[in-house]
Copies of this chain bind each other. A is one copy, B any other.
């Protein structure tokens, strides 16, 4: 089951948020993409429909959507703070293409068991984990793309 922009619009209203034309545009942009989107690319796409739409509105809408757990905030390679529509409702992670931003959901996460063991060993009260896989999708392997930057290593 895929969350459409209209379905999300309903959820917003149910939670006491107003449904403005601007929000509807931003929603549509996010909901209709399979890729990871930066706030800036969301703004750009939204302005194709309403050129006067403000940057602040994008950030505010993302904040609301994040609060309602309707979007996933992803770190990705060299680019933190990108977003995509939440597709599986259960706990999951992502495999993101460093080339084009395409994202695949990974739902079979076995780290919660590991958390328990870690918790005992370390004395930490573990609140959660961050897991992302990154690489190149089939198309980008062939086309050797240069869109997403890939500088600087992360902890691995």
Contact = CB atoms under 8 A, between A and B. Distances in A.
B123 A106 contact: no
Nearest to A63: B152
Contacts of A118: 95, 106, 133
Interface in A110-156: 111, 115, 118-119, 122-138, 141, 152-156
A155 B122 contact: no
B130 A135 contact: no
Contacts of A111: 131, 133
A66 interface: yes
The 4 closest A-B pairs by CB, nearest first: A126-B135, A80-B80, A123-B138, A127-B135
Interface stretch (A24-32, A44-52, A69-77): A69-77
Interface string A54-79: 00000000000010010011110000
A93 interface: yes
A25 to B, nearest CB: 23
Nearest to A72: B155
Given A95-B126, A124-B137, A127-B135, 8 more contacts: A66-B153, A98-B127, A124-B136, A127-B134, A128-B133, A129-B131, A129-B156, A130-B131
